[in-house]
Amino acid sequence: MEACLDANVFVSCLTPEEDHEESLQLVKILSEQDVSLFEPSLVIFEVVSVLRRKVLLKEITQIQMDKAVDLFFQLPLLLQWQDYILKKAGRFSRKLGLKNVYDSSYLAVAQAREIPLITLDKDFHKKGQKVYKNLFSVREYLRKI
């Protein structure tokens, strides 16, 4: 089984946030079921950048960040960086009126592999479902599995 998680799901799972419990539950279930996580390669930079920002805002400590990064890299991440993914991400960005290709790169990976994409971003969820029906919120996906 395979899935693609938006970076916000990983961050929520690793830090005390509003959706922490649901995100943690999702990642635990996916790990227990040996689900491979296909991710755009930028996910590692997105997650670590958000964690660093949380340190600067004093939401977490540097030690907590280091532990979160260690946990993140223990996940079965299969990073995708192929040129067709980037081209597809660019097309999705144009189609959805997005200013960058960050969010659309997750759509491109999920669509290319025909796997579920799970996000906490409500706006992205709403826009993304116009082009990819296998896009779920964390709560929706937990009800589905």
Q: By residue range, what is the domain housing residue 119?
A: 2-144
Angle at 110 between CA 104 and CA 116, to 5 degrees: 120
Q: pLDDT, tens digit, for every residue of 69-106? A: 999 999 999 999 999 999 999 999 999 999 999 999 99
According to DSSP, the residues that pair with 137 across neighbouring strands are 119
Residue 58 belongs to domain with CATH number? 3.40.50.1010
Q: pLDDT, tens digit, for every residue of 3-54? A: 999 999 999 999 998 999 999 999 999 999 999 999 999 999 999 999 999 9
Phi, psi of 101 (to 5 degrees): -105, 10
3-state secondary structure of 56: helix
Q: How far apart are CA 51 and CA 61, in angstroms?
A: 10
pTM of the model as a whole? 0.95
Provide the number of structural domains found in the chain. 1
